[in-house]
Amino acid sequence: MELVTAKTNSSRGALGEAEIIKNKSVLDKWINEVGKRLGEARNTIKSIQQKAEENFAAVGLPNKKTEDFKYTNIRSYLQEDYIAKHGKILVGVQDFEPLLTDDFVSVVLINGKYVPEYSRLKKLPEGVAIKSLFKALEEGDQIAIKQFNAGLATTANPLAMLNTALAGDGIFISIPENFSCPIPIHIANICTGEVKSLYNPRHLVYLHTNAELTLIESHHSVKQTGKTFTNSATEFYIENNASLENYILQDEDVLSQRNDVRHFTVNTGSRMNSVTISLDGGMVRNDPTVFINGENAEVHLNGLFVVKEDHHTDNHTMVEHRAPNCFSNELYKGVIADNATGVFNGKILVYRDAQKTNAYQSNKNILMGDKATINTKPQLEIYADDVRCTHGTTTGVLNEEALFYMRSRGLNEKLAKNILLQAFAKEVSNTIKNETFRNLIEQKIEQNIQ
């Protein structure tokens, strides 16, 4: 166990005037392309967006010198020539119908924008709000107005700033007090288009006191012929004694590049379980931050990433224990094949007052092939003295002894490998409680690992 006693300052030096002007001009180009932004719904939001513009201009897009992006140089994926405009929708519901199931309330987002006519809200229980974030702000929803950027404002992540500055729309979900949503809500994210595009969807999910929700998100490429960079940001607020199950499947085309920023605020006695399954996509970066703000909260943060060819998947996680008597557990497993690169950089930060914290973190990777790379960096930063925290990481190849054992019982090498990889993945997929989705994920993993 590593015990850090001084907070490290990881920001790079301030940028020069010329660079700030350049950042501003890139941002202005994108602002013009976006058109209507969330600020148009509400003046208070406008000022938040203006502040984010300034903040972004001061730092610009992250590159390798940005500490938190050391292994994922965003500038090599996203450049000025990406167009931040939503084109005409070229897909119909028939193009992705199999992705929607009657077991869930289905919310369809095309390139991050809510499309009510493609969505299926018939089974949505009364009292649960699902609407476009723009509309929620425009209607004066007090939660949406009050919470917008409340969580993300605390982060120094340039891509979160970019999202806040450019956000035009996204989804707003609110679960009322003492209500357990009996049916999972599924957000089907369809990535499509012909032009090199930048999207900045912004979502807000709010669970009132003692509310419960299973939120499933899946990402798919449909009729995608142009490169996309989707820079999405979602804020979750889990009020006292509320419970969130959040499952994410990333299964996109190589043309799709995705940065997924999440900010969870977890309050007293509440519980969350977030499971991210990253199966494909040219570049994927998952960047969840959890603030544990109240006592007796329980946080589970799990991920499985399978990276192939020359693709890149980065999981950058932060769990901040800001209150005593809480539990967090993090498990990320990676299978990295071919020339692919995987990254795991997870940090647990325990505040001085967060006594009796139990925090665990584990990262396990399997490299399939000589050219596969994993960069893994688990970190603990602890200021309280009465805590139990562990972290560990292992990286290896498939167990040769186990392979021979299985082959000696009649399984050919490929089958034996597949079974071992599936077993490796299962430890993560097993944390998905919803059976329908877990079965789908396990099928997907099986196909993907072949």
Partner 1 sequence: MLEIKDLKVSVEGKQILKGLNLTINKGEVHAIMGPNGSGKSTLASVIAGREDYTVDGGSITFNGKDMLELSADERAKEGMFLAFQYPVEIPGVSTINFLKTAITEIRQYRGLPPMEAKDFLKMLKEKQKLVEIETNLTGRSVNEGFSGGEKKRNEIFQMAMLEPSLAILDETDSGLDIDALRIVATGVNTLRSKENAFVIITHYQRLLEYIIPDFVHVLYNGKIVKSGTRELALELEGKGYDWIKKEFSELAV
Is the Cβ of residue 89 or residue 411 nearer to partner 1 in the bound state?
Answer: 411
**Closer residue to partner 1, CB minimum distance, 325 or 422:** 422
Please say which residue, 64 or 407, places its beta carbon nearer to partner 1.
407
Q: What is the b/e burial string over 83-103, where b = at least 16 CB atoms within 10 angstroms of the residue's CB?
A: bbebeeeebebeebeebbeee
Q: Minimum distance from CB of 406 to partner 1 (Å)?
A: 7
Pairing outcome for strands 327-337 and 243-251: unpaired
Residue 416 CB, shortest distance to partner 1, in Å, is 8
Alpha-carbon distance of 37 to 53, in angstroms, equals 13
Closest separation in Å from C-beta 392 to partner 1: 16
Q: Are 395 and 365 in contact (CB under 8 A)?
A: yes
Residues 392 to 431 in contact with partner 1, rule: CB under 8 A: 399, 401-402, 404-413, 415-416, 419-420, 422-424, 426-427
Other Cβ atoms closer than 10 A to 300: 18
Judged by beta carbon, residue 144 or residue 416, the one nearer partner 1 is 416
Judged by beta carbon, residue 58 or residue 419, the one nearer partner 1 is 419
CA dihedral 338, 289, 232, 83 (to 10 degrees): -80
Q: Are 393 and 364 in contact (CB under 8 A)?
A: yes
Q: Which is nearer to partner 1, 223 or 438 (CB)?
A: 438
Residue 116 vs 405, nearer CB to partner 1: 405
Give the residue with the Cβ less far from partner 1, 177 or 413.
413
Tell me which amino acid residue 399 is. N
Q: Give the C-alpha separation, 23 to 26, whole Å.
A: 5
Is the separation of the CB atoms in 192 and 91 below 8 Å? yes
CB of 397 to partner 1, least distance (A): 15
Minimum separation from the CB atom of position 422 to partner 1 (A): 8
CB of residue 361 to partner 1, shortest distance in Å? 20
Q: Measured from the CB of residue 396, what is the shortest distance to partner 1 in angstroms? A: 13
Q: How far is the CB of 400 from partner 1 (least distance, A)?
A: 9
Q: Please, which residues bridge with residue 375 across strands?
A: 343
Which residue in the block uniquely carries the two structure tokens 């399978």? Answer: 306
Which residue's CB is nearer to partner 1, number 25 or number 430?
430
CB-count burial class (<10 Å; 0-12, 13-18, 19+) for 120: middle
Q: If binding means CB under 8 A, how many residues of this protein chain bind partner 1?
A: 22
When the beta carbons of 143 and 402 are compared against partner 1, the nearer one is 402
Site for partner 1 contains 97 (CB under 8 A): no
State the nearest-atom distance from the C-beta of 419 to partner 1, in Å.
Answer: 6
Q: How far apart are CA 130 and CA 107, in angstroms?
A: 8
Half-sphere exposure of 38 toward its Cβ, with a 13 Å CA cutoff?
33
Pairing of strands 105-110, 185-193: parallel
Binding mask 223-262 vs partner 1 (x if CB under 8 A, - otherwise)? ----------------------------------------
Beta-sheet strands, E only, within 53-211:
105-110, 113-114, 129-132, 171-175, 185-193, 197-199, 202-207
**Taking CB under 8 A as the criterion, which residues in 318-377 touch partner 1?**
none
Q: Are 436 and 106 in contact (CB under 8 A)?
A: no
Min. distance of Cβ 284 from partner 1 in angstroms?
Answer: 24
Written as six digits, the tokens of 250 are 């990333």
Positions touching partner 1 (CB under 8 A) are: 399, 401-402, 404-413, 415-416, 419-420, 422-424, 426-427
